[in-house]
C-alpha cells in the first residue's frame, strides 16, 4: 500500500485529503458528499465530544434529542432562517417503496405513498425545537431552558470536502430560552467562551473571538459571535458560532411567557454549535508532510510502544518491561498501546504511527534493556531521546503536556505572524496576494462596501474582534470614516 502524503507545499488541498484518508480518520462513501468516519476518526470526535459535553453540563445545560425531520410548515415559520437554508435542504416526499412491475428486482418510489406534507431533513433545528418549546413555556418559572443536542444535520452543499464541508455532518446544537435579553446575551457570550476555551486548551488551536457583520450572520440571528482560527495556508476557518436570536423564533412560533407582573412577553433565544468540521481544522492547523499531528489531550491514543526484537526470548524480556511501563502510564491516566504485532516491522510501525499523529512513541529493544532505557520520540518535533525506564510514566506525562503546549505555541506564533495591518486599498490587495492570513483594516461599516471587497478579492470580514480597540481611520475601499479595524481573510 502506498502511503505517501502529497507535500503540503506542492498541493495544500491534496495534502489535506491525504491526511484524512491515510491517517484513517475518514473515507469517501457511496453517497455524494457524505463521508464514513472511521473508528480512529470517530475516537477523536468522541474525545472532543466528551470534553465539550462536560463543559456544557458544567455550565448548566442538559442534553435532549429532537427529530431529524421537520414538517415544511414549521420549517418556513421563521422566514429568514428558512430562506437562508432553503436551497440546501433535503426533502422527504414519500414514505414507501415498492417493487418495480417493469423491472424485476428493482424498487421504485410508490407514487401512492406521497406525504401530505413534505418533511425537511434538518439543516439546523431551531424550527422543530422552538415549536416544542412553545409547549414547555408558560411562566417565567419555566425559564431558562438550557438544552443541547448531539445530532447529525444535512446541508446539501454544492461542493463538499472531507470534514470541512460534508452534506451530512455531526455536531452539537445548543438551544436556550430566556426571560430577558440581557440573560440571553450573557448566555451567547458564555458559550462562545466555552468554545474558545475548548479549541485553545484542548485542540491547541488559537482563536480570535469576535462578532460577525450583518452579511455573515446566521440566518435568523440578531448577532452571531464566532471564533476564527487560521490554517497553515493562511486561510481562515470559522471554528464555532454562538447566536443571539433575539425574539425572532419566539415570535415565529408564538412562544410567550408570563413574567412576575403577569405580563405576557416573548421569550429570548440563543443557539450555538460546533461540528465535525473542527476535526478538519485540527488536521489543517497542526499536521505536516509525515502525517497528522494531534494534541495529546484529545488524541485517541497518546503513547504507542514498539518492541524491537529477535526471537521469542527477547520478546518475552521486552514484554515484561513493557507491562510494567504500561501499568505505570495507565495509572497516570495516559492512554497507551503496545504495538507488538509481528505483522509489520518496526520501521513500518514508526511511519504508520507518525501518519496517525500519535504524540509519543516509545521504542524498546534488547540493547535498551541492558541499559534500562527506552527511546522516546515526540511527534510534534520528531525529536528522539533516550530515557530511563525508571520513572518513565512521569517523564512521558510531562512530555505530553509539553507537546500540547508546543503545538499551541507553534500555531499561535504562525497565526500572529500572519496578521497584518493594511491602511490603503493597494496595501490590502497586495497583502492578500503575497501574504495569506488575517488582515486588520478599516471598514466603513456598510454591507455594500463589504460586498464589494468580497467580489473584488474573495476576502470576507471574518469578524469584528471582541474588545476591539476603537480608533479613527478611513475605510480602505470607500475612504469613508471608520471607528475600528476589522479582520479580513480568505476563508474555508
Partner RNA sequence: CGGGAUGUAGCGCAGCCCGGUAGCGCACACGUCUGGGGGGCGUGGGGUCGCAAGUUCAAAUCUUGUCAUCCCGACCA
Q: Which residues bind RNA (CB under 7 A)?
A: 1-5, 13-14, 17, 28, 30-33, 87-88, 155, 157-162, 164-167, 169, 218, 238, 241, 275-277, 290-291, 308-311, 342-343, 345-348, 350-352, 354-355, 361, 363-368, 374-375, 377, 382, 384, 454, 458, 491-492
Q: How far is the CB of 116 from RNA (least distance, A)?
A: 26
- The DSSP H or E segment spanning 183 is helix 181-201
Q: Which is nearer to RNA, 155 or 442 (CB)?
A: 155
Question: If 0-12 CB within 10 Å is exposed, 13-18 middle and 19+ buried, where does residue 197 land?
Answer: middle
Torsion angle in degrees (nearest 10) through CA of 23, 47, 85, 145? 180
Q: Which is nearer to RNA, 170 or 419 (CB)?
A: 170
Closest CA to 209 of 190, 232, 192: 192
- The DSSP H or E segment spanning 248 is helix 248-252
Joined together, the cell numbers standing for residue 290 give: 509525515
Q: How far is the CB of 19 from RNA (least distance, A)?
A: 11
CA 152 to chain centre: 14
Q: How far is the CB of 407 from RNA (least distance, A)?
A: 18
Q: Which is nearer to RNA, 40 or 350 (CB)?
A: 350
Expressed in angstroms, the distance from the first to the final Cα of the chain is: 31
Joined together, the cell numbers standing for residue 299 give: 488524541
Q: Which is nearer to RNA, 251 or 454 (CB)?
A: 454
Q: Which is nearer to RNA, 20 or 255 (CB)?
A: 20
Q: How far is the CB of 327 from RNA (least distance, A)?
A: 21
Q: Which is nearer to RNA, 2 or 434 (CB)?
A: 2
Q: How far is the CB of 29 from RNA (least distance, A)?
A: 7
Closest CA to 277 of 394, 155, 364, 454: 155
Q: How far is the CB of 77 from RNA (least distance, A)?
A: 19
- What is the Cα–Cα distance from 10 to 16, expressed in whole angstroms? 11
Backbone angles phi, psi at 325, to 5 degrees: -65, -40
Q: Which is nearer to RNA, 367 or 469 (CB)?
A: 367
Q: Which is nearer to RNA, 260 or 310 (CB)?
A: 310
Q: How far is the CB of 348 from RNA (least distance, A)?
A: 4
Q: Which is nearer to RNA, 126 or 145 (CB)?
A: 126
Are 328 and 396 in contact, with CB atoms under 8 Å apart?
A: no
Integer Rg of the chain from CA: 26
Q: Which is nearer to RNA, 155 or 178 (CB)?
A: 155
Q: Which is nearer to RNA, 308 or 392 (CB)?
A: 308
Residues with Cβ within 8 Å of 328's Cβ and at least 6 positions away in sequence, in order, are 392, 393
Beta strands in 52-144 (DSSP E): 62-63, 69-71, 91-94, 97-99, 107-109, 114-121
Q: How far is the CB of 261 from RNA (least distance, A)?
A: 38
Q: How far is the CB of 418 from RNA (least distance, A)?
A: 19
- What is the Cα–Cα distance from 308 to 381, expressed in whole angstroms? 23
Residues with Cβ within 8 Å of 166's Cβ and at least 6 positions away in sequence, in order, are 33, 34, 35, 157, 160, 276
- What is the Cα–Cα distance from 143 to 250, expressed in whole angstroms? 13
Backbone torsion region of residue 2, taken as left when φ is above 0, otherwise alpha when ψ lies between -120 and 50, otherwise beta: beta
- Alpha-helical (H) ranges within 3-78 are 12-22, 39-58, 72-75
What are the C-alpha distances in Å from 342 to residues 54, 180, 234, 346?
39, 64, 42, 9
Residue 459: strand, helix, or coil:
coil
Amino acid at each position: 500500500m502506498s502511503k505517501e502524503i502529497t507535500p503540503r507545499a506542492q498541493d495544500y488541498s491534496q495534502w489535506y485529503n491525504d491526511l484524512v484518508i491515510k491517517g484513517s480518520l475518514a473515507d469517501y462513501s457511496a453517497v455524494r458528499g457524505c463521508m464514513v468516519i472511521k473508528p480512529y476518526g470517530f475516537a477523536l470526535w468522541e474525545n472532543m465530544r466528551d470534553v465539550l459535553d462536560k463543559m456544557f453540563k458544567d455550565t448548566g445545560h442538559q442534553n435532549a434529542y429532537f427529530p431529524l425531520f421537520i414538517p415544511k410548515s414549521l420549517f418556513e415559520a421563521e422566514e429568514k432562517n428558512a430562506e437562508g437554508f432553503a436551497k440546501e435542504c433535503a426533502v422527504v416526499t414519500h414514505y414507501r417503496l415498492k417493487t418495480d412491475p417493469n423491472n424485476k428486482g428493482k424498487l421504485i418510489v410508490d407514487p401512492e405513498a406521497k406525504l401530505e406534507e413534505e418533511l425537511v431533513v434538518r439543516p439546523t433545528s431551531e424550527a422543530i425545537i422552538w415549536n416544542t418549546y412553545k409547549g414547555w413555556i408558560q411562566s417565567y418559572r419555566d425559564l431558562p431552558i438550557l438544552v443541547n443536542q448531539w445530532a447529525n444535520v444535512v446541508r446539501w452543499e454544492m461542493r463538499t470536502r472531507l470534514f470541512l464541508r460534508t452534506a451530512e455532518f455531526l455536531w452539537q446544537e445548543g438551544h436556550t430560552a430566556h426571560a430577558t435579553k440581557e440573560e440571553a446575551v450573557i448566555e451567547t457570550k458564555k458559550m462562545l467562551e466555552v468554545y474558545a476555551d475548548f479549541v485553545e486548551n484542548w485542540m491547541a488551536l488559537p482563536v480570535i473571538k469576535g462578532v460577525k457583520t450583518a452579511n455573515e450572520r446566521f440566518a435568523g440571528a440578531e448577532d452571531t459571535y464566532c471564533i476564527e482560527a487560521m490554517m497553515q495556508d493562511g486561510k481562515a476557518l470559522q471554528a464555532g458560532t454562538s447566536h443571539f436570536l433575539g425574539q425572532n423564533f419566539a415570535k415565529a412560533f408564538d412562544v410567550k411567557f408570563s413574567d412576575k407582573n403577569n405580563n405576557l412577553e416573548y421569550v429570548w433565544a440563543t443557539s450555538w454549535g460546533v461540528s465535525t468540521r473542527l476535526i478538519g481544522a485540527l488536521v489543517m492547523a497542526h499536521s505536516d508532510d509525515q502525517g497528522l499531528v494531534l494534541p495529546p489531550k484529545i488524541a485517541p491514543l497518546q503513547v504507542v510502544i514498539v518492541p524491537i526484537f529477535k526471537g521469542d526470548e527477547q520478546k518475552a524480556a521486552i514484554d515484561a518491561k513493557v507491562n510494567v511501563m504500561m501499568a505505570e502510564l495507565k495509572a497516570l491516566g495516559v492512554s497507551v498501546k503496545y504495538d507488538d504485532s509481528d505483522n509489520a516491522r518496526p520501521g513500518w510501525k514508526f511511519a504508520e504511527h507518525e501518519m496517525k499523529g500519535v504524540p509519543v512513541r516509545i521504542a524498546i529493544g534488547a540493547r535498551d534493556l541492558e541499559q534500562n532505557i527506552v527511546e522516546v520520540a515526540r511527534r510534534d518535533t520528531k525529536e528522539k531521546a533516550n530515557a530511563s525506564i525508571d520513572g518513565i510514566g512521569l517523564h512521558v506525562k510531562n512530555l505530553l503536556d509539553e507537546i500540547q503546549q508546543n503545538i499551541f505555541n507553534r500555531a499561535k506564533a504562525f497565526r500572529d505572524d500572519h496578521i497584518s495591518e493594511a491602511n490603503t486599498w493597494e496595501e490590502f490587495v497586495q497583502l492578500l496576494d503575497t501574504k495569506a492570513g488575517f488582515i486588520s483594516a478599516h471598514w466603513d461599516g456598510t454591507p455594500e462596501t463589504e460586498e464589494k471587497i468580497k467580489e473584488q478579492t474573495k476576502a470576507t470580514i471574518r469578524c469584528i474582534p471582541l474588545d476591539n480597540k476603537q480608533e479613527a481611520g478611513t475605510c480602505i475601499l470607500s475612504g469613508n470614516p471608520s471607528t475600528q479595524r476589522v479582520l479580513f481573510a480568505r476563508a474555508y
